[in-house]
Amino acid sequence: MLTIYTLIPVSCLVAAIVAGLGGHIIGRTATHRVAITGVAISFVLSVYVLFDVLQGNYFDGMLYTWGTSGFLTFQIGFLIDELSAGMAVVVTFVSLMVHIYTIGYMHDDPGYQRFFSYIALFTFAMLMLVMSNNFLQLFFGWEGVGVVSYLLIGFWFDRDSAIHANMKAFLVNRIGDFGFILAIAAIVYVFSSLNYSDVFSQAASVENMTVEAFEGVNWKWLTIISLLLFVGAMGKSAQVPLHVWLPDSMEGPTPISALIHAATMVTAGIFMVARMSPLFEFSEVALTVVVTIGAITALFMALIGLVQNDIKRIVAYSTLSQLGYMTVALGVSAYAAGIFHLTTHAFFKALLFLAAGSVIVALHHQQDIRHMGGLKKIMPITYWTALVGSLALAGLPPFAGFFSKDTIIEAVHASQLPGSGFALFAVSIGVFVTALYSFRMLFIVFHGKPRMSEDELAHANESPWVITLPLVVLAVPSVIFGAIFAVPMLYGEFYDQSIFVLSQHDTLAHVGAGLAGQGGEISAWKIVLHGFITLPFWLAVAGIFVAWLLYIHRPEWPSLIQSRFKLLWQILDHKYGFDEFNEVVVASGTRGLGDVLWKFMDMYVIDGLVVNGLANSVRRISSRIRVIQSGFVYHYAFTMIIGLLLLITWFLIR
């Protein structure tokens, strides 16, 4: 089986290498065939492995020894359980869809082969991350996906905005990685190992190990480690205040917005925290931080989505908000719900991005929704699939998003954690806002009168099958996935092997007990029925109704509201000023500091006062003895002789 596990990431790596190094030799068609074959093999094998795991065949072992140092042995290996196998299926499935879609989307791009090489490489790195059985390899995959994301955001590298965005993404992620690598060092310090199995099995026994962080303040090591890991997760999963890179990452081609910046890479942080549940569970401080950050992200990023006009940025802010929901789930120890939402979100958000891409292609790279409208008739497949995606996103039963989001809200409700009260408020209001911005987009783009130019309208057509096929394929799980898998994955024993929850934190069990009622069994049908009588359902309906009111029934109202609440609108339009702050204070400040240090310390103090002073006196003396023109060798030989003379003198006088 180790061979099969290895083949899952490696077939993507091979595809990436062939496409990257040989792409120009074998041509476009062969390149995409190679890449798609590589990812398809991974997908098929992942599905096989998932079924194998469901038979009870787990695996935790090494592939090879990366290196050793002192008491540490670093190994590259795999941990195969429901969590990793399930993630691998999600990753390879979405990746495969995006690969197919790319054939259509990037059809005329001169960087066609390069693009396929990158996305195959991305899939490799993501799989290494997901399947890892140790922290070092996790970090390898973590940074690997980050780099490919960097390369892909800057794919069109002659656009200034793109190369600004990709550097920003890399640097902001690095702030997260700063926390991550310190977490790794702390784990070595506390556990003397980087293997998950060693670390997790010792977690309970080091629970009371503390360190004096400040005078008189003792912190649990597990709190410190969990918080440092979460800083890493905040970077990758774009939680406030490290979220600033994700909207800008939309500079990359749309297929990767779907794959990397919606479905897979950005959820790596969520996956990581779920994987580290045996550590986080022992730190209520860390969990409180997680739930608070998640709640802030969920609500405040959704609000920005209301005022965006770029179709991709609306979906991007939606992604930020949904990542916040997942983080909230982790914070209230409903890890399974976080992963479940990650999965359903991967389907419907990839779908929405690819649908947005389909519109963008049809309108020749027009991305402003104010220049769209009435596309429902022209692009029926795109419309209906986008509608499915929006309904799932808004969380209406029985779509997939309903099951995952509703569970999160219920779990927050059940949580006793400090901060869960605020979180409940945020995620509930968030439901209304989510429904509002997603249907605002849907109505403006597909309904009403066409607002694009005559020329654009004349050329607008439904996209070719390579684009619409992935939409349809992704629409299927967006509808049915929740109804089929919610019960076993959320309330069953599916994640018992991979996720650890202390009984006093087990919010999902509490929710499950409530749903089952007295002596009953949970079923999807019961969950749906329950959904109709809860507040989130009516908030979502209200959101859709308000969207209809504002953007179909009374389209003149939005601008009225905008002028009435000018200040509020400006705050949202400036995204709370994070970008301005970072640009003016952080980036310029650092550059300015570097400049001052260089010019003052290095050039003025060290060189100007000390070195050149010495050099000038030497020059003055040496010009007298007239050796300067002939270079320094003589000089040097001269001093060596002085040295030897010293040596001899020493012996003589000794």
> Which has the closest alpha carbon to 426: 401, 408, 400?
408
Is residue 597 a contact residue for another protein (CB under 8 A)? yes
642 CB-near residues (< 8 Å, 6+ apart): none
Is residue 557 a contact residue for another protein (CB under 8 A)? no
Phi, psi torsion values for 492, nearest 5 degrees: -90, -155
Q: Given the complex with another protein, which of 538 and 636 has the nearer CB atom?
A: 636
How far is it, in rounded angstroms, from Cα 450 to Cα 446?
Answer: 9
Is residue 186 a contact residue for another protein (CB under 8 A)? yes
Q: Could you tell me the smallest distance in angstroms from the CB atom of residue 69 to another protein?
A: 5
Is residue 170 a contact residue for another protein (CB under 8 A)? yes
Is residue 651 a contact residue for another protein (CB under 8 A)? yes
| Alpha helix segments (H runs only) across 332-379 | 335-362, 375-378
For 66, the 3-state DSSP assignment is strand
Whether 178 and 231 have beta carbons less than 8 Å apart is answered as yes
Is residue 614 a contact residue for another protein (CB under 8 A)? yes
Phi-psi map region of 492: left, alpha, beta (phi>0 left; psi -120 to 50 alpha): beta
Is residue 601 a contact residue for another protein (CB under 8 A)? yes
Residue indicated by tokens 């030799």: 25
Whether 408 and 334 have beta carbons less than 8 Å apart is answered as yes
Q: Could you tell me the smallest distance in angstroms from the CB atom of residue 428 to another protein?
A: 36
Q: Which of 552, 593, 621, 645 binds another protein (CB under 8 A)?
A: 593
Q: Which of 1, 25, 27, 157 binds another protein (CB under 8 A)?
A: 157
How far is it, in rounded angstroms, from Cα 618 to Cα 377?
Answer: 85
| Residue 356 β-bridge partners | none
| Residue 489 β-bridge partners | none
Q: Report how many residues bind another protein under the rule CB under 8 A.
A: 68
Other C-beta atoms within 10 Å of 1: how many?
A: 13
Q: Which of 552, 611, 621, 645 binds another protein (CB under 8 A)?
A: 611
Is residue 554 a contact residue for another protein (CB under 8 A)? no
The token pair that represents 96 in the structure block: 């495969």
> Footprint of another protein on residues 52-81 (CB under 8 A)?
64-72
Binding span for another protein by CB under 8 A among 304-312, 412-420, 505-513, 631-639: 631-639
> Which has the closest alpha carbon to 360: 456, 246, 447?
456
Is residue 163 a contact residue for another protein (CB under 8 A)? yes
Q: Which of 184, 263, 409, 486 binds another protein (CB under 8 A)?
A: 184
Q: Given the complex with another protein, which of 185 and 529 has the nearer CB atom?
A: 185
Q: Which of 425, 465, 532, 632 binds another protein (CB under 8 A)?
A: 632
Is residue 178 a contact residue for another protein (CB under 8 A)? yes
Q: Which of 4, 17, 40, 182 binds another protein (CB under 8 A)?
A: 182
> Footprint of another protein on residues 433-492 (CB under 8 A)?
none
Is residue 646 a contact residue for another protein (CB under 8 A)? yes
Binding span for another protein by CB under 8 A among 153-161, 402-410, 435-443, 533-541: 153-161
Q: Given the complex with another protein, which of 117 and 415 has the nearer CB atom?
A: 117
For 13, the 3-state DSSP assignment is helix
Rounded to 10 deg, the angle between the 268-275 and 135-153 helix axes is 170
Whether 96 and 256 have beta carbons less than 8 Å apart is answered as no
Whether 267 and 237 have beta carbons less than 8 Å apart is answered as yes
Instruction: Report the 3 state secondary structure along 254-277.
Output: HHHHHHHHHHCHHHHHHHHHHHCH
Q: Could you tell me the smallest distance in angstroms from the CB atom of residue 584 to another protein?
A: 16
Is residue 209 a contact residue for another protein (CB under 8 A)? no
| Alpha helix segments (H runs only) across 55-111 | 82-105
Q: Which of 55, 533, 631, 653 binds another protein (CB under 8 A)?
A: 631
Residue 129 Cα to chain centre, angstroms:
12
Is residue 251 a contact residue for another protein (CB under 8 A)? no
Q: Given the complex with another protein, which of 524 and 627 has the nearer CB atom?
A: 627
Phi, psi torsion values for 397, nearest 5 degrees: -70, 145
Q: Given the complex with another protein, which of 151 and 234 has the nearer CB atom?
A: 151
Q: Could you tell me the smallest distance in angstroms from the CB atom of residue 150 to another protein?
A: 8
Is residue 219 a contact residue for another protein (CB under 8 A)? no
Whether 405 and 486 have beta carbons less than 8 Å apart is answered as no
Q: Given the complex with another protein, which of 151 and 490 has the nearer CB atom?
A: 151
How far is it, in rounded angstroms, from Cα 335 to Cα 163?
Answer: 36
Q: Given the complex with another protein, which of 44 and 186 has the nearer CB atom?
A: 186
Other C-beta atoms within 10 Å of 92: how many?
A: 29
Q: Could you tell me the smallest distance in angstroms from the CB atom of residue 221 to another protein?
A: 10
Is residue 144 a contact residue for another protein (CB under 8 A)? yes
Residue 237 Cα to chain centre, angstroms:
4
Q: Given the complex with another protein, which of 271 and 500 has the nearer CB atom?
A: 271
Is residue 158 a contact residue for another protein (CB under 8 A)? yes
For 218, the 3-state DSSP assignment is strand
Rounded to 10 deg, the angle between the 284-305 and 420-446 helix axes is 30
Binding span for another protein by CB under 8 A among 170-178, 331-339, 426-434, 573-581: 170-178
Q: Given the complex with another protein, which of 93 and 135 has the nearer CB atom?
A: 135
How far is it, in rounded angstroms, from Cα 327 to Cα 332?
Answer: 9
Q: Given the complex with another protein, which of 54 and 72 has the nearer CB atom?
A: 72
Length of the chain: 654
Q: Given the complex with another protein, which of 195 and 308 has the nearer CB atom?
A: 195
> Which has the closest alpha carbon to 102: 23, 36, 26?
36
The token pair that represents 2 in the structure block: 């180790």
Q: Could you tell me the smallest distance in angstroms from the CB atom of residue 134 to another protein?
A: 12
Other C-beta atoms within 10 Å of 80: how many?
A: 25
Binding span for another protein by CB under 8 A among 40-48, 79-87, 177-185, 251-259: 177-185
Q: Which of 189, 425, 465, 538 binds another protein (CB under 8 A)?
A: 189
Is residue 615 a contact residue for another protein (CB under 8 A)? yes
Is residue 624 a contact residue for another protein (CB under 8 A)? no
DSSP state at residue 436: H
Please give the residue ranges that form the binding site for another protein (CB under 8 A). Answer: 64-72, 136, 139-140, 142-144, 147, 151, 154, 157-158, 160, 163, 167, 170-171, 174-175, 177-178, 181-182, 184-186, 188-189, 211, 590-591, 593-595, 597-599, 601-602, 606-607, 611, 614-615, 618-619, 631-633, 635-637, 639-640, 643, 646-647, 650-651, 654
